[in-house]
Amino acid sequence: MFAKSILKLASHDLIIIGGGPGGYVAAIKAAQLGLNVACVEKRGSLGGTCLNVGCIPSKALLNATHHYHTAKHKFKDYGIVVGDVKMDVGKMQATKKKTVLKLTKGIEHLFRKNGVTYYVGEATLSTDKKVKVKSAEGEVSHDAKSYVIATGSEPIQLPFLPFDEQQVVSSTGALELKAPPKRLVVIGGGVIGLELGSVWGRLGSEVTVVEFLPHIAGTVDTDVGKELLRILTKQGFKFKLSTKVTQGAVATDSSGQKVVKLTIQGSDGKIEEIEADVVLVSVGRRPYTKNLGLESVGIKTDPRGFIVVDDHLATNVAGYYGIGDVINVGPMLAHKAEDEGVAIAESLAGKKGHINYLTIPNVVYTAPEVAWVGQTEQQVKETKVPYKVAKFPYQANSRASTNLETDGFVKVIADSKSGRLLGMHIIGSNAGEAIAEGVLAMEYSGSCEDVARTCHAHPTLSEAIKEACIAVASGKPIHI
């Protein structure tokens, strides 16, 4: 069943277009449930943006530079004496690529193991309810009873500052830099900008973040956003909030070096000129549907180009479904796409698929990490639901103190009548792992008292979650 290219018509129960987190998970799950499944991916490497040029390589660089920064600046506090610590960027990049290759090959192995047919090529939907797959070997059509579109998204570029992936880079180019630029300007203070700014800032780049909004990290809770801003500023980030970039161009300076000249304007109308050696544009992502043929089939998209789906992930055309970044539902996150992939596979196999968009966690992999699930305090206020809120600082957590990582806190929000957890927000070490407890509690409509009465190992960072929940449930945390 496994083939990278087959130049003859083949029929399947299901063809999935896109081999990213949503697509490959849907393919494997559907095959496990007994369907004859094929997956079309033009990249030639499975895993999509996340595995190839997104989540995985960025975390490899974040982990490496975090270790470097710790060794250079914090080892002495632990009593560890080392010599002059240096970073071999070439080795770091090579290790990253090795990790990515291992994981992509791992997905190919899972396709073979589960009997998923793999077509390498560009897919285009056709009016005869077939999909044309164009590869270096030619073009051939395949048909299926059902189709799942999982083509993901791509970075948005500014019209006056197109990507060249050298001086003006997307997240893809920022992952491939051969050396830290002296001056790095990040346009957009969201997750991608803050993470990649952290990577190169730790290696010596002067990082300036230009953000149109008056805060960073997008939809993060206001209290958490303020704390993250304080911590990153302390780490050396410079922020220009409530500021927009109005013009930009690559130029050559007096020494013959290429630089990027930007014109920025604050909310007060003040105009400023700034220069950078590299500019990372991270102002968002848009659905990727190029040459897909949505119009020929009649699949509806919204004004921003996202495929419109219903509660069952179905498009307006029978037999066609959508998941992941390309659809108009839910956050643009890899794990959201994975859950949708499982849900659509189960539905097409005659079972009941499940996806709860209210309990999808978000993580920012800065240091410290930021993670949250559910509603922010601002969102709860807008619902007019009476609520209680409490915070527990890592300063009062014994494990955080022993680790010398006391920045941050846990914040929980609960319905004041039922005690049901409405939102959990964490800024601190390992927040991305810890948030799973909040996700599980919310998935099963748990209360803060439920979490507070659950025994947590000591000493662990997770005790901060318990203490915050105790504070909401009784108003009397133990260790503060």
Peptide bond between residue 459 and the one before it cis (omega within 30 degrees of 0): yes
Among residues 120, 123, 118, which one has the least CA distance to residue 290? 123
Catalytic residue among 73, 109, 354, 458: 458
> How does DSSP classify residue 314?
B
> Which of 286, 291, 280 shows the shortest CA–CA distance to 307?
286
- Structure token pair of residue 471: 């504070």
**Partner residues linked to 287 by β-bridges:** 153
- b vs e for 62-92, b when ≥16 Cβ sit within 10 Å of the residue's Cβ? bbbbbebbbebeeeeeeeeeeeeeebebeeb
Structure tokens at 153: 């998204």
- Give the number of other Cβ atoms within 10 Å of residue 394's Cβ: 23
The neighbour count for residue 160, using CB atoms within 10 Å, is 11
Please tell me the distance from the alpha carbon of residue 9 to that of residue 5, in angstroms, as a whole number.
11
Give yes or no: 425 in active site.
no
Q: Residues with Cβ < 8 Å from 66, sequence gap 6 or more?
A: 202, 367
Task: Check: CB of residue 353 under 8 Å from CB of residue 346.
Answer: yes
Residues in the chain: 480
Give the DSSP letter of residue 427: E
3 state SS of 108: helix
d(CA 401, CA 404): 5
Q: Does residue 451 sit in helix, strand or coil?
A: helix
Positions marked active-site: 458
